[in-house]
Structure 1
Amino acid sequence: MRKFFLGACMAGSLIACNPAQEAAVKDEIIYHVFQRSFYDSNGDQHGDLNGLRMKLDYLQELGVTSILMTPLYESFYYHNYYSSDFSAIDSTYGTEEEFLQLVREIHRRGMKIYMDMETQYVTEDHTWYKDSYGNPSSSYSEYILYDDAEQRKPSSIVFDIHDLKGYDGTVRKITTVNLLSEKVKQYNRSLFSYWLDPNQDGNFDDGVDGFRLDHMMDDLDNKRRLTNLFKDFWVPLIDSLKSINPAITIMAEQADWGSYGIDYLENAGVDWVFGFRIQQAIRSFDKDRVAAYADTTFARTPQGKNQVIFIENHDIPRFATAMAQDEGKEKVGATLNLLLGGIPSLYYGQEIGMLGDSYFGKYGGITDANEIPYREAFEWHRDKDGEGMAYWYRGSGPWWDTSTVKSNDGISYEEQKADANSLWNTYRTLIALRKQHPVLISGHYEPLENTSNDIFTFLRTDGQQQALVAVNFSATPEQLSVSLTAKGGRTIYGNGEGRIEGSQLTSTLTGYETQVWLLNQ
């Protein structure tokens, strides 16, 4: 959550292991976009819906298939969590009709769109809060969780917070919604259902393909007041949504980032959770830790469910910053993000190595501005003042003054597109490799030991093909020797200087190199 301070046939697969289904394998790669920062279509410095629609060609050029947006509903906060009105789209993004145009165009291109939702909290500006505060006779009294009978003490939210300061100095009170209220349950069914089929014609070309459920918990904020939410709130809601469109996908952000999310997959009715332990392991740049967490994550994931694999999102410092702008390490991150297994998710700007550090505690205490550094304007141009730059945070104080968006620094789409060795082209090539070899999409993950202390190896297997992925975590060349059950194979990515003799693969990997071998069956 942290908005403001702080293979086919086994687990990790997409479809059942059935050769007849191979032709139906479709890649899904999510592009997690912070739309306010993506592309400004009308010159007001806010990224918007039309701007995103204008850049769909870019997303397809990169090769992603799906878009995950941050919340769209009205809020006093730039990130649009903590809503003042769930039913209205923030006017700085555009109109509802512009959103529907975007959805239809995404579907026309064969892509998907997911909507981020957090309906557990509201600000003092929401009708439920305004009407019920100090008014026990209000028809909205049961919508809000109060700590007193007079309804003058709205319950705190996560981390015992009662209000939050915005980056522009605005302070709003925030409280918890009573998710166990039958009226609240009905409201959520209506709200979520609307976005599945806005014109109610049974044709889902204008509806979203699913939802991300932010900060999902069984006992909301561990306060022992809203308990058994999986069974009493989320499962009935998800079941009702899937009765409308069975093809939708529900992904849950588990509130505990140390969790594998297995209880969500088993008990909460969701399809995907987020691979936080893998994300954390990748940032450690410890190959044994990556292997251990990948083994556990994929082994424990129930069949038919999945993990969203990511190295960046809107709540954590940028990967390039964490790797001290070491391009070799950034490319290792790209490999693991895209080839390890599960459903890959790229955070906008990750593909060009955008920067952004944590500002927690540096300026202004608890404020929603502390995460602006990793939600900056996407760098489209060599010139930082080029067309469409979404500088909604211009003049915001230290967050603007220390912006990492600069001209001629190599971190832009314009600068990297023509460079075959750029990070952007690495992402594009790896995504294309997946599309060329379905085993890298649907194959289940299998751990594979080797003789090197620095090379991480694993298999992707789908019953028809097997691919071996080797990743050098060292900056220096390393020798790889690994035993196989396959007899022969060929490199499909990397320098191709290795060989397979009998059941032994030997190769040399240059610093931070990835090699992918397609093995004979």
Structure 2
Amino acid sequence: MLADRSARIPKVCYEIFVRSFCDSNGDGIGDLNGVTSKLDYLADLGIGAIWLTPIHPSPSYHKYDVTDYYAIEPEYGTMDDFRRLLAGAHTRGIAVYLDLIVNHTSTLHPWFTEARKSKDNPYRHFYWWMTQDQIDHLGISERETSDDSQVVYPWHENPGDDEKYYGLFFKGMPDLNYHSDALREEIARIIRFWLNDVGVDGFRLDAARHIYPEWDKEQSITFWDFFSKVVEEAKPGAFTVGEVWAETEEVAPYLRNLNATFHFDLSFALQRMLLAGRDEQIVDKLQASFNLFQKYNPLFVNAIMLTNHDQERIGSVVGGNIRKIKLAASILLTLPGQPYLYYGEEIGMLGMKPDPYIREPFLWTPDPGDPQLTGWIKPEFTTLKTVAPLSAQTSDATSVFNHYRTLIHLRNTEPALNQILAPNLQPVRLGDDQLLAYFRPHVDRSLIIIHNLGDTERAMTLPDDKSLFTEVLFSTDPLHETTLTTNRLSPHSSVILAPAGNARAVEKQ
């Protein structure tokens, strides 16, 4: 049963910021038909699911302030375009997850335009309203900033009104108030519409820990009990992955009602390790997190990533160092869990905040006039001078793209690597914190993965009980082609080992 359920979970997912991915009509803005045109590319890369950042109508470039939950942003296309994308993805065995924003709306959403009219408007209770005296009495006029919101003063004026409304992220994004049964009924209708009427496969859930404000935050976890029951009744097996941007201890309880949560602690640890060139005992920390997650959900899915649309791109984090970019991919794609790639990571895209510059256009070809190239922003980091476009990387056996593609296909076909439920991970102690090594046990074939995080060649001696692991399945080290020939590992290199006589070689990238 565990194997059957695991087989239905996409092995590798791909986050698409639609505006920047691919333009199909020459207006400079990425769109749904552009995504559809690249489904063969994604299938060839080995992607099992795509997460589309918000595609609802919205006044912003990022679309996280929704004005209509039942429609498609006109810049991105039509509902027919989306249905064609969905059908094309499903034909290729690719699931589609919709980014659903249920923490807040735009101030331009009809619910809020009604709510702000008067205190007795029936939509008033869809949002949080208080007078300044009430706010002061509760001591909630200010908040400490967090990784996911830099707003200090979350209460905002409504002209001509003695009550203010609460908006954690921005005054143009008022938070919804789920003490309202009528609002819950509306959200349930939205869920059923997208799962049943349209046919999406699941949701990425924005700001999952902020569904209720901080003074009522214990309610945020119980909200997802309501939400998950609606999802399961509407479409059994639909997938939910939550953005709970917090430390592991705070994340864990959300797995009681969500299939997966993003592992931010791992993301930031990997970034630090790549910069410092030293292991942070990450395998031990992962094992501890798995034990904690399992208490809340024995079938938890650990959604892992290097970075996403809210973080500086991994390519820039490591200073554009191609060997470290490849090393980052090697670590991510050999750890247990469900990896999420941020579009363009597979070609080494760069980007640093502010946010628009971590969401720059994907480079398909070396032609600056390429009609597929989106032009809504002039890129500062990912340009034809700094990043080789996909078409150039495809034919380069040593490219970042081919490194990703080879690893993804290995992960998809190697049972020890693609086990998602009941994560199989054990440390391998090599006595050197510049080496990161771990064991992926599996009944079909167990594997050992070793990464040299440092800038110098390192000696590595496997423990006696792992001495038979000498066949090389994958290597970025010229010292090791198909067999482990020396006890040295080159800087920023990785090697995947199987027991001797029980391996099939994968072309070295």
The TM-score normalised by the length of structure 1 is 0.83
What is the match of residue 419 of structure 1? 396
Aligned to 1:176: 175
Match of 2:259 in 1: 271
Q: d(CA) in 1 for partners of 2:161 and 2:240?
A: 34
**2:188: which partner in 1?**
189
Cα distance in structure 1, aligned partners of 2:97 and 2:351: 25
Alpha carbons 2:313, 2:352 under 8 Å: kept = yes
CA contact under 8 A between 2:228 and 2:258: conserved in structure 1? Answer: yes
Q: Equivalent residues in 2 for 1:388-399 (5 A)? A: 388-393=372-377
Greater shift, 476-485 or 140-149, is seen at 140-149
Q: 2:147 corresponds to which residue?
A: none
Moved over 4 A (4+): 21-27, 149-152, 257-260, 497-500
Q: Deviations over 1:460-514 (max 9, x none)?
A: 12333211000010232211112153562321112536978xxxx9632112111
Query: Aligned letter for 2:383?
Result: K
* Shift in Å, 1:338: 0.8
**Which residue number corresponds to residue 141 of structure 2?**
none
The structure 2 residue matched to 1:228, chosen from 212, 216, 219, is 219
The one-letter code matched in structure 2 to 1:222 is: E
Which has a greater percent of strand?
1
Distance between the aligned counterparts of 1:26 and 1:264, measured in 2?
Answer: 19
Q: Does 1:320 align with 2:315?
A: yes
Q: Distance in 2 between matches of 1:33 and 1:134?
A: 37
439, 453, 460: which is aligned to 2:440? 460
Where 1:516 maps in the other structure, the secondary structure is strand
Q: Which residue among 85, 97, 105 is the counterpart of 1:102?
A: 85
SS in 1 for 2:206: strand
Asked if structure 2 preserves the Cα contact closer than 8 Å seen for 1:143 and 1:178, the reply is yes
Which structure 1 segments of 5+ residues have no match? 1-14, 164-172, 199-205, 359-369, 394-399
Instruction: Extract unaligned runs of 5+ from structure 2.
Output: 135-159, 503-509
Deviations 1:289-345 (A, max 9, x none): 534433333343312101111001000111110100111111110011111110011
Query: Is the partner of 1:254 in helix, strand or coil?
Result: coil
1:144 matches 2:127: yes
Superposed displacement of residue 24, structure 1: 5.0
CA distance in 2, matches of 1:53, 1:493: 32
Which of 440, 447, 453 matches 2:417? 440
Aligned residues of 1:382 and 1:408 also touching (Cα < 8 A): no
Structure 2 counterpart of 1:365: none
Residues 1:493 and 2:485 aligned together: no
Alignment of 1:306 onto 2:301: yes
Letter in 2 for 1:461: P
Q: In structure 1, how many angstroms separate the alpha carbons of the residues matched to 2:400 and 2:329?
A: 8
Distance 2:65 2:490 in 1: 48
Other structure's SS at 1:223 match: helix
- Is the 2:283–2:425 contact (alpha carbons within 8 Å) kept by the matching residues of 1? no
Provide Cα deviations, 1:47-101, integer angstroms capped at 9, x if missing partner: 0000000011111121111100111111111111122222221110100111111
- Distance in 1, matches of 2:386 and 2:127, equals 49
CA deviation profile, 1:418-441 (whole Å, cap 9, x unmatched)? 110111110001011112311110
Q: Which residue of structure 2 aligns with residue 354 of structure 1?
A: 349
1:106-121 equivalences under 5 Å are 106-121=89-104
Q: 1:335 aligns with which of 330, 335, 339?
A: 330
Q: State the shift of 1:223 in Å.
A: 3.2
Structure-1 residue corresponding to 2:156: none
The answer on whether the counterparts of 1:218 and 1:227 sit within 8 Å (CA) in structure 2 is no
Contact 2:435 2:452 in 1 (8 A): yes
Would the alpha carbon gap of residues 125 and 39 (structure 1) be closer, same or farther in structure 2, given more than 3 Å must change? same
Structure 1, 122-131 or 331-340: larger mean CA deviation: 122-131
Structure 1's 152 and 420: CA in aligned 2 closer, same or farther, altered over 3 A?
farther
Paired residue type of 2:367: D
Match of 1:458, SS state, is strand
CA contact (8 A) 1:144 1:154 kept: no
Which of 167, 170, 194 pairs up with 1:157?
A: 167
3-state secondary structure, aligned to 1:155? strand
Question: How high is the sequence identity, in percent, across the aligned residues?
Answer: 26
Distance in 1 (CA, whole Å) between partners of 2:345 and 2:244 is 22
Match for residue 209 of structure 1? 201
The answer to whether residue 293 in structure 2 is matched with residue 293 in structure 1 is no
Q: Give distance in 2, aligned partners of 1:321 and 1:26.
A: 31
What is the aligned partner in structure 1 of residue 368 from structure 2? 384
Describe the superposition over 1:356-412 as per-residue Cα deviations: whole angstroms up to 9, x where unpaired: 112xxxxxxxxxxx301100011111233322111123xxxxxx3x62232354431
Equivalent AA in structure 1 for residue 450 of structure 2: A
Q: After superposition, what is the alpha-carbon deviation per residue over 1:442-469, rounded to whole angstroms, capped at 9, x for unaligned?
A: 1611122113331110011233321100
Structure 1 residues 444, 474: closer, same or farther in 2, change over 3 A? same
Q: 1:421 is aligned with what amino acid?
A: T
Instruction: Within 5 Å, give how 1:14-29 maps onto structure 2.
Output: 16=2, 24=7, 28-29=11-12
Deviation at 1:22, TM superposition (A): 11
Question: CA separation of 1:406/1:447 partners in 2, compared to 1, >3 Å: closer, same or farther?
Answer: same
Counterpart Cα distance in 2 of 1:155 and 1:23: 43
Matches of 1:453 and 1:277, distance apart in 2 = 19
Does the C-alpha gap of structure 1 residues 430 and 146 become closer, same or farther in structure 2, counting only changes over 3 Å?
Answer: same
Of the candidates 84, 88, 103, which is equivalent to residue 67 of structure 2?
84
Cα distance between partner residues in 1 of 2:348 and 2:483: 33
Distance 2:68 2:78 in 1: 14
Give the drift of 1:348.
Answer: 0.3
1:280 to 268, 275, 289: 268
Show the 5 A alignment for 1:36-115.
36-115=19-98
TM-score normalized by the length of structure 2:
0.85
Question: Does residue 512 of the first structure (1) align with residue 500 of the second (2)?
Answer: no
| Pair 1:27–1:77, CA change in 2 (3 A) | closer
Q: Which position in structure 2 is the counterpart of 1:397?
A: none
Distance 2:334 2:211 in 1: 34
CA–CA separation in structure 2 for the residues paired with 1:387 and 1:174: 34
Q: Structure 1: which amino acid aligns with 2:424? A: H
**Closer, same or farther: CA 353–146 of 1 in aligned 2, 3 Å:** same
Match of 1:251 in 2: 241
3-state SS of the aligned residue for 1:121? coil
